[in-house]
Structure 1
Amino acid sequence: MDSTNSQTLIERLDALYEYDREPVKEDKLYGWSTFIAMFASEHIAGTEFVLGTLLVLHGVTAYDVFVGLALGNVLAVLSWALMCAPIAVKERLTVYWQIRKIAGPYLTVLYSGLFALILCLLAGSMVNVSTTAVSLTLGISSPNFAAGDTFPSLPWIMVAIGVGTVIAVLAVLGFERLTHFAKVVAPWMPFVFLAGAIASLPSLGVSNLSQFWDVANEKIWTGVAHEGHMQYGFWSCVGLAWLCNITQHMGMGDVTIFRYAKKWQMGFCSAFGMFLGHYMAWICSGVLCAAFVQSELAAGINDPNPTPANIAMLGAGYAGIVCVLLAGWTTANPTLYRAGLAFQVATPNWRRWVVTLIAGVVMIITACIPAVLHYLDRIVAYYGLFFMPLGAFIFIDFWLFPRLGLVRNYAEREGLLASWPAAVGWFGSFAICFMLYAKDNYESFAWINDRLPATLAKYHADLFSQVLPAWVIAVTLYTVCSMVQQRTSGVDFSQEVPQ
C-alpha cells in the first residue's frame, strides 16, 4: 500500500467523530428501532450462554429461575428507563465527561482507565465465547478451566486473534456501524436459543409440556450446586438479573448510548434485551447446559466442559455455532466501543480509533485466559460494585442537588482537580460492601466478624445483592460530604436555579 492510500485511510478513520467531548447534535439522533436492535443484540449474546449455564452449575431451583429472573429484569428495565435515559437525553454527553464535571479530571482519568480495562476484559470473555464456536468447527479443543486448563492451545489462540480483530474493526467504525450490525443479527438469534432448548428437552425426559416442571426441578435447576461452585438461590437470581448491569443503568454508564436517543422513553427498549436475553436466553442456555452435562456423564466423561459452542452444537447444530459466534460479537462490539471512549478520556490527545485498537489488543489477551469465563458471574458482580458509585453520583447531582440547594457540577465550576466527596463516596462504599461480603466468603477476612457489632456480624451478604446497598451507601456519603464541602466553601447559592 503506498503512502497516499495510507494517508487516505488515516484521514477516513479520523473522520469517524463520535461526539466524545460535546453534546450529540440533533441531526445525529436515532429512533426506537435502533435501540430495540442494540439492546436485543447486545443482551441476547454470548454472555447468555455463560450466565444461564452458571445458574445451573450454582444449583438454583426452577422457581428461583422463572420468578427471580422475572422480578430482577423488571427492575433492570425500570432502572434504564427512569434513571439512565432521562439524564442521557437531557445532557447528551458520555458518562466520562459527565463524571468529569462532578468529580474532577483526576478521578475521571482513574475511573476511565480502570473502567476501560474491565470493559476490555468483558469484551475478551465474549471473544472467548465466539472463539469456542470457530474452534469447535475446526476441531480445536477449547480450554476447560474446571479440569485444570489455565492456558489455551496455540491454534486456539490464533483463532481468538482472528475473531478479536474483526470485533475491533467493527468497534473502530463507530456507533452507526454498530447499530447496523445489531439490526442485521438481532431478529433471529432468540429463535436459535429457543429452538435449541426445545430440541434438547426430549433428551432430559420431557415428551410433553406437563412433564416440564418436574424435569426442570429434577434434572436442570436442581437446587444443588455442582462441585466447585457456590450455592445460589432466589435472591441471587433477582440480583444477577437486576444488578449485573448496574454500572450501565443505575451507574449511568449507558448515558453514553442513550445520548443518541430522540426521547427518554426509549429507555424501555432495554426490555427487549432483558426479557429476550436475560430471561428467555438464560433459561434456554440452562436447559442446553443440563442436557450437555447429562450426555457427557452418560458417555463416561467425568469433567464435562459446557462451553457455549458445545451446548449450542448439541441443541441447534451448526445454526447454534453461528449463533454463538455472532452472539459473542454483538456483546463485544459495543463493549469495546465503550472501552475506546473510556481510554480516550485517559489519553485525551490520542485519536479514538487508535485507542479503540489498543483496547482491542487488551481484549484479545484477556480472551485467552480461561479463568475469565469460568468466573464471569463474579467478575460482573465486582465490576458493578466498584464502578457503579461515580456514575450514581451523576443521578444524585442531576436530580437531588438542586432540591437541596447544592451546586451542580461543583468540581467543574470551582476548577477542582479532584472532588474529595466523590472519592469518599466511591472508595468508601466499595470498601464497606466488600468487607461485609468478604468476612463470610474469604478466610483471610474472617477476623472482621470479631470486630463488628453483633447485627453486622450476623449479616451474610449475597455478592450480587451487595451492589444495591453499595449504591445507597455511595450516594449517601457523596451527598453528605458535598453538603459539608459546599456549606463551608463560601459559594453563593442564591444564583442557583432549581430544575
Structure 2
Amino acid sequence: MSEVQEFENTPVAANRLEPARHFAASYAGEHVAGTEFVIGALFVSLGVSTYDIFIGLLIGNLLAVLTWAWICAPIAVRTRLTLYAYLEKVAGPGVVKIYSIINGILFVIIAGAMITVSASAVRIPFNIPPQITWYPNSFAFVLVAVVVGAVIGYVAIKGFKKVAQFAAVCAPWMILMFLIGGIGALPILIANSSSVDAITSIQDFIIIGDSFIWLEVDNGIGIWHVAAFAWVCNLPMHGAMSDMTILRYARKSSYGYLSALGMFIGHYMAWICAGIMGAAAALILKTTINQLDAGEVAYQTLGWVGILAVVIAGWTTSNPTIYRAGLAFQSLNPKWCRVKVTAIVGVFTTIIACFPFAFSHMLDFLGIMGLVIAPVGAILVAEHWLLSKLGMTPYWNAYRGANINGPALMAWVISLAVAFLLNSMLDVHLFFLLLPTWIVATGGYLIMAAYAGARVSYPQQVAREEAAYRQRLAEEREFFSHDVVVEQATNKDLHSDGFIGIARFIAIGSLVVCAALAIWVYIKGPDYLEAFQALLVVPTLLYFVSGTYWFTKKECAETKETEKFTDTPLSAQNSQHGTQENRV
C-alpha cells in the first residue's frame, strides 16, 4: 500500500495547496448526504411551522458559514497544520492524546452511520429487511455494509485530494437529485390537497408545507431551536476546528466561505426537499414519515436513481469523516503510518456500520460531539487571537516544553461541568448549551493562562516562529506566481483532446436533462412519476461515465503542468515524504 504524504505533523508545502474547486466540491459533497433524509424527517416530526423552518435554517446556516470563514479557515491557513498538530503546539502532547481519542471515536461512529445509510438503500433491490434493531438481523445487510465500507475506506486512505476528487464528480449530481426529488414529489402533495391546485406563489407553498410536511405543534420548539440546530450540528467541524485538517490545504482563508455550498445547498435546500420527499413517500405508502428510512424515501420519489443517490450520499460524507478520524488516531504517535492507521479506522468503522444503532442515534452523537469538543475550539481561538492582544505570548506552553497545558485542560473540564449544570439544573436545551460552554472555556483559559506562564516573554522562540512563517509565505507566493502559466497550459492540453470536450458536453447535458425531467413530471402530475423515475436512469449513467472521464483528465492535466514547477514530481514527493516521515 503506497504512502500519500498528508503533512500530518508539519505545515503543508506550497506545492500541495489545492484550488478552490476542491473545497467547493468537498463541502457540497459532504453536506449533501444521506442524513439529509433523516434530518429532513426530523424537522417534520419536531412540529415546527414552514416559516420557522425556512427562517431558522437561514439564520443557523449563515452562522455556520461565518464560523468557518471567520474563525476556522484563517487559523488553518495561517498555521497550515492539522487540528491535532496545532492543538499539541498549544495544549501539549498530553491534552492532544485525550482529545484525539474522543474526536476519533466520535468521527468513527458518524462515518459508520453514513455507511449504514448507504447500506440501507441497497436493501431495497435485494429485498433485505429493514434494520430496526440495534444489531443486524440480516447477513446480506452485513455483506453490503462491508463492501460499501471497503470502498469508502480505500478513498479515504488515498488522502484529501482523492476525497475531494471523488466529491467533485458526485456533488453536482447529488445536489440536483435532492432538488428534482423535491420538485417531482410536489405534485403528489398537491393532488392530496383540497386548498391548493397549483403552486403559483410562496403562500401556496407554505399552505402545502403546513398541511402535509411541517405540521406545527405547540411543543415549545420554534425558530431559534431550528437555527441553533443548524449551527450546532456542524460545530465540531467549524467551531471546534476539526476542519483545520481540510482547510490547511486552502490557498486563501476566504475558501472558508465555500462552506456556504454545503450549508445552503445541503443543510437548507436538501433538508427542505428531503421533507417534501418524505411527506410524499409517506402518502404513497399510506404511513408516516417516521416509519421510513432514507432508502425508502428516495426510492419512492426517485426510483432506482434514488437508491444510487442515497448510496453516494453516504459515501461523500463518510469519506472525509474517515479521513479526519485517521488523522485523529495517527496524532497519538507521529511515527505511525497514516495510511495504515486510516485502514484500521476503516475496518472499525465498517464494523460499526453493521450495527444500525449508530444511525438510529445519529442526532444524539452529533449533539454530544459538539458539546464535548467545542471548548477546545474556544481555547485555540483564545490562543491564536486573544493572548497577544492581552499582552501574553501565544504558544507559551510549547516554548516552555510542558507536556500538558494545565489551564487548557482545566478550562475544558470546567466548561463541560458548567454545561452539565445548565442542562440538569436549569433544563437548558442541548442546542443552546454550546455558546455558554464556549464563553466559559475562553474566559477560563485566558485567566488561568495569565497566572500559569503566558505572560512570560519568549523573544527568541517568537522570532523563529515569525521567520518560519515569512519563509513559508515566500514559498507560497513563488508557487502561486505560476498559476496563470499552469492554467493556460492545462487548458491547452484539455482542448487538444477532443474526447474531453465531448465528455464535458455530455456531462453537463445529462444534468440539464435530469432537471428538465423534473419540470416535466411536475407539469404532468403524479400519474407520470413512474415514467419520470425510469427515464432518470439514462442521463444519470451518462453523467457518471462522462463526468468521471472529464474530471479525471482535467486533474491529470493540471497535475502534469504543476509538476513542471516543482523539484520532483508530486507522486515522487508523496513516496519520499511517506518513507521519511510516516513509516512505523
Give the AA of the match of 2:306. G
Q: Which residue of 1 aligns with 2:183?
A: 198
Secondary structure of 1:142's counterpart equals coil
Q: How many Å separate the matches in 2 of 1:152 and 1:37?
A: 36
User: Counterparts of 1:288-303 in structure 2 under 5 Å?
Assistant: 288-296=277-285, 298=286
Give the AA of the match of 1:387. I
Q: Which residue of 2 aligns with 1:492?
A: 457
Q: How many Å separate the matches in 2 of 1:224 and 1:136?
A: 33
Q: Which residue of 1 aligns with 2:209?
A: 216
Give the AA of the match of 2:385. W
Matched, 1:247 2:233: no
Residue of structure 1 aligned with 2:157, choices 134, 152, 172: 172
Deviation, 1:271, is 0.6
Residue of structure 1 aligned with 2:385, choices 399, 421, 432: 399
Give the AA of the match of 2:170. V
Q: Which residue of 2 aligns with 1:261?
A: 250
- Greater C-alpha Rg: 2
Matched, 1:76 2:76: no
- Post-superposition CA distance 1:200-238 (Å, at most 9, x none): 22222364114321121122111239xxxx974212210
Q: How many Å separate the matches in 1 of 2:20 and 2:391?
A: 36
- Post-superposition CA distance 1:19-61 (Å, at most 9, x none): 0010001111112111111111111112212211211122222
Residue of structure 2 aligned with 1:480, choices 423, 447, 453: 447
- Post-superposition CA distance 1:136-167 (Å, at most 9, x none): 1211122125xxx6434221111111111110
Give the AA of the match of 1:67. I
Q: How many Å separate the matches in 2 of 1:92 and 1:256?
A: 9
CA contact (8 A) 1:239 1:464 kept: yes
Distance 1:184 1:370, change over 3 A: same
Deviation, 1:269, is 0.5
Deviation, 1:290, is 1.9
CA contact (8 A) 2:9 2:334 kept: no
Deviation, 1:428, is 1.3
Q: Which residue of 2 aligns with 1:428?
A: 414
Identity of aligned pairs, percent? 39
- Post-superposition CA distance 1:57-113 (Å, at most 9, x none): 222221121000001111111111111111111100000010001111011011111
Q: Which residue of 2 aligns with 1:414?
A: 400
Give the AA of the match of 1:409. Y
Q: How many Å separate the matches in 2 of 1:347 and 1:305?
A: 44
Q: Which residue of 2 aligns with 1:92?
A: 80
Deviation, 1:303, is 9.2
Q: How many Å separate the matches in 1 of 2:351 and 2:449?
A: 40
CA contact (8 A) 2:84 2:96 kept: yes
Give the AA of the match of 2:99. Y
Matched, 1:359 2:345: yes
CA contact (8 A) 2:378 2:439 kept: no
Deviation, 1:369, is 2.7
CA contact (8 A) 1:195 1:315 kept: no
Give the AA of the match of 2:392. L
Give the AA of the match of 1:286. G
Q: How many Å separate the matches in 2 of 1:164 and 1:277?
A: 23
Q: Which residue of 2 aligns with 1:453?
A: none
Q: How many Å separate the matches in 1 of 2:87 and 2:26?
A: 24
Q: Which residue of 1 aligns with 2:5?
A: 17
Q: How many Å separate the matches in 1 of 2:35 and 2:398?
A: 38
- Post-superposition CA distance 1:437-457 (Å, at most 9, x none): 2x2xxxxxxxxx4xxxxxxx4
Q: How many Å separate the matches in 1 of 2:333 and 2:172?
A: 37
Give the AA of the match of 1:268. Y
CA contact (8 A) 1:59 1:231 kept: no
Give the AA of the match of 2:28. A
Residue of structure 1 aligned with 2:226, choices 237, 254, 257: 237
Q: Which residue of 2 aligns with 1:342?
A: 328
Q: Which residue of 2 aligns with 1:465?
A: 432
Deviation, 1:250, is 1.7
Q: How many Å separate the matches in 2 of 1:477 and 1:295?
A: 55
- Post-superposition CA distance 1:330-367 (Å, at most 9, x none): 00000000100011011333211111111112211221
Distance 1:315 1:240, change over 3 A: same
CA contact (8 A) 2:117 2:311 kept: yes
Q: How many Å separate the matches in 1 of 2:135 and 2:18?
A: 43
User: Counterparts of 1:101-140 in structure 2 under 5 Å?
Assistant: 101-140=89-128
TM-score, length basis structure 2 = 0.75
- Post-superposition CA distance 1:408-460 (Å, at most 9, x none): 112211111111111111121112113322x2xxxxxxxxx4xxxxxxx4xx4
Q: What stretches of structure 2 of length at least 5 have no aligned partner?
A: 467-584
Distance 1:393 1:304, change over 3 A: closer
Residue of structure 2 aligned with 1:143, choices 125, 128, 131: 131
Q: How many Å separate the matches in 2 of 1:400 and 1:108?
A: 21
Secondary structure of 1:136's counterpart equals coil
Give the AA of the match of 1:492. S
CA contact (8 A) 1:200 1:314 kept: no
Secondary structure of 2:292's counterpart equals coil
CA contact (8 A) 1:178 1:333 kept: yes
Deviation, 1:277, is 0.2
Deviation, 1:302, is 7.5
Give the AA of the match of 1:217. D
Give the AA of the match of 2:280. A
Q: Which residue of 1 aligns with 2:529?
A: none
Secondary structure of 1:17's counterpart equals coil
Deviation, 1:304, is 5.6
Q: Which residue of 2 aligns with 1:153?
A: 138
Aligned CA-pair RMSD:
2.1
Q: How many Å separate the matches in 1 of 2:458 and 2:308?
A: 59
User: Counterparts of 1:301-380 in structure 2 under 5 Å?
Assistant: 305-380=291-366
Secondary structure of 1:483's counterpart equals helix
CA contact (8 A) 2:72 2:244 kept: yes
Higher relative contact order (CA 8 A, sep 6+): 1
Give the AA of the match of 1:54. L
CA contact (8 A) 1:144 1:305 kept: no
TM-score, length basis structure 1 = 0.87
CA contact (8 A) 1:405 1:493 kept: no
Distance 1:365 1:435, change over 3 A: farther
Q: How many Å separate the matches in 2 of 1:240 and 1:375?
A: 16
Give the AA of the match of 1:244. C
